[in-house]
C-alpha cells in the first residue's frame, strides 16, 4: 500500500461526487490489472461476451439505456451455460470451496466444517450440544440463506429437532434456487454444520435497540433480525485486485475503499445513490461501526492480500469474498466465495461503474 493512502478504518469526509471519483479510481486499478492477469480458460471472455461488454461501454453509465453489474452477471451466466465449465463449480460449493481455498492459500480461512451423511452430521451436532457450542446447519447446495437452522443454545435443543433440521437441509429445495446460475445448481445436494459466528448484537455488547431507535415496530424488528447476523463484509476482487466492499446487511450505509478507508453514505446528500423501491438505508449501530473500524485497522491489509491471492491463484477474472468479522474467538474468517454473483446491486452508480471496469478489463486483453 502506498504511503499516501488513508489508513484502514478511517471514515473519510468527502462529498458524493468525490466519493464516486475515489471508487472509480479503485475500479480502474482492477481494470488495468486485466492485461497481465493469468486467467484460467473458463474465465476468458468469449466472442459473444466481448461483444456484449463493448455494448456496456458504448451505452455509457447514465440515462435509462445502461448496463449495470446485474446485466453483466446475467449475460455471463447465460453464455457460460452453453459450456458449463466444471472448473468453476467449486466456488459455489460450501464443501469444495473450503478445501480448495485452503490449498490455494496454504491455510484454512473458512470456519471448521462437518459434512457427510445425515448421521455423521448428527454426531457432530451431538458433540456441539454436549459442549453447548452454538452451531448452524445449512444445505451444501443452497443459497439466499434458505433452509438454514441456527442453534444458539444447543444444550437446550431437542435432538429430534436438530435431526429434523439436518434432514431438511440435506434434501432442501427452494423455488428461488431455480433462478440462480447454473454453477450454483451444479453443486451436489448435501448438508454442512459449522460453528455459529458471533452476531452483531454481541459485538461490543451492542444493544439491539440502537439499530433503529426511532423506527416503527416493524422496522425495529427488521433491524433487530439483522443484528442477529454476523458482521459480514463483501469484498470484490477484479482481475486479482481488491476494488472495494460493502456490508451484507447494510449495503447502503457505507462503502469500503481499496485502502480500507470508509465512505459513509448519507441519503440527504446522495439521493441518486440508492435504488428506488429496493432496499433501505439503515444506520449501523455505533458499537458495530466502531468494531468494524477496529478490525479494518488491524486486519484489512491481510484481508486484502488473502482475497487477491485467492483470486489470482485460482485464475479468476472476478471474485466476491465474504469476510466474517469481529468474533473474538474465530477472528476474521471467510464466510463464502461467490463467482458470477451479486455485488452492490442496491447502489446503481457503483453497479454501473463495476460493470464498466469489468468490461474495460476484458476488452484490454
Structure confidence at residue 223 (pLDDT) = 75
Strand-strand pairing, 333-338 and 318-325: antiparallel
CATH code that applies to domain 112-196: 3.30.1490
Could you state, in order of their start, the residue ranges of all structural domains in the chain? 16-107+199-363, 112-196
Structure confidence at residue 307 (pLDDT) = 98
Candidate from 110-119, 231-240, 272-281 with smallest mean pLDDT: 272-281
Structure confidence at residue 119 (pLDDT) = 86
Q: How far is CA 238 from CA 87, 125, 198, 219, 255, in A?
A: 18, 38, 29, 35, 16
Q: How is 148-214 classified by DSSP, letter by letter?
A: -EEESSGGG--HHHHHHHHHHHHT---GGGGGS-HHHHTSPP-EEEEEPPPBGGGGGG--GGGS-TT
pLDDT tens column, 302-344: 999 999 999 999 999 999 999 999 999 999 999 999 998 888 8
Q: Is the pLDDT of residue 22 over 90?
A: yes
- Report which of 291, 341, 266 is spatially closest to residue 74, judged by C-alpha positions: 341
Structure confidence at residue 227 (pLDDT) = 87
- For CA atoms 52, 57, 58, 61, the dihedral sign is positive
Question: Which one-letter DSSP state was computed for residue 7?
Answer: P
For the chain, give the longest Cα–Cα distance. 61
Amino acid at each position: 500500500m502506498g504511503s499516501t493512502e488513508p489508513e484502514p478504518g478511517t471514515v473519510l469526509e468527502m462529498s458524493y461526487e468525490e466519493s464516486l471519483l475515489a471508487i472509480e479510481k479503485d475500479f480502474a486499478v482492477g481494470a488495468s490489472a486485466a492485461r497481465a492477469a493469468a486467467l484460467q480458460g473458463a474465465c476468458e471472455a468469449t466472442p459473444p461476451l466481448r461483444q456484449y461488454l463493448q455494448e456496456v461501454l458504448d451505452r455509457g453509465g447514465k440515462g435509462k439505456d445502461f448496463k449495470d453489474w446485474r446485466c453483466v452477471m446475467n449475460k455471463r451466466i447465460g453464455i457460460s451455460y452453453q459450456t458449463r465449465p466444471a472448473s468453476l463449480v467449486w466456488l459455489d460449493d460450501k464443501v469444495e470451496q473450503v478445501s480448495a481455498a485452503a490449498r490455494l492459500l496454504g491455510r484454512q480461512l473458512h470456519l471448521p466444517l462437518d459434512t457427510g451423511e445425515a448421521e455423521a452430521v448428527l454426531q457432530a451436532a451431538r458433540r456441539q450440544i454436549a459442549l453447548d457450542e452454538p452451531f448452524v446447519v445449512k444445505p451444501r447446495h443452497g443459497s439466499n440463506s434458505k433452509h438454514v437452522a441456527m442453534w444458539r443454545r444447543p444444550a437446550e435443543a431437542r435432538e429430534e429437532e436438530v435431526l429434523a433440521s439436518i434432514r431438511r437441509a440435506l434434501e432442501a429445495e427452494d423455488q428461488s434456487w431455480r433462478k440462480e446460475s447454473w454453477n450454483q445448481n451444479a453443486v451436489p445436494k448435501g448438508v454442512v454444520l459449522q460453528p455459529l459466528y458471533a452476531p452483531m448484537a454481541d459485538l461490543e455488547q451492542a444493544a439491539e435497540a440502537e439499530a433503529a431507535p426511532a423506527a416503527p415496530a416493524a422496522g425495529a424488528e427488521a433491524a433487530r433480525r439483522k443484528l442477529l447476523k454476523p458482521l459480514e463484509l463483501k469484498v470484490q476482487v477484479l482481475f486479482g485486485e481488491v476494488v472495494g466492499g460493502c456490508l451484507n446487511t447494510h449495503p447502503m450505509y457505507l462503502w469500503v475503499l481499496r485502502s480500507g478507508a470508509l465512505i459513509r453514505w448519507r441519503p440527504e446528500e446522495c439521493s441518486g445513490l440508492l435504488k428506488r423501491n429496493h432496499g433501505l438505508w439503515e444506520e449501523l449501530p455505533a458499537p458495530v461501526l466502531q468494531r468494524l473500524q477496529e478490525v479494518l485497522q488491524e486486519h484489512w491489509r491481510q484481508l486484502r492480500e488473502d482475497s487477491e491471492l485467492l483470486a489470482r491463484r485460482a485464475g479468476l477474472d472476478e471474485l466476491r469474498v465474504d469476510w466474517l468479522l469481529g468474533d473474538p474467538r474465530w477472528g476474521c474468517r471467510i464466510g463464502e466465495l461467490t463467482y458470477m454473483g451479486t455485488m452492490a446491486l442496491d447502489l446503481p452508480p457503483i453497479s454501473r461503474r463495476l460493470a464498466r471496469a469489468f468490461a474495460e478489463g476484458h476488452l484490454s486483453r
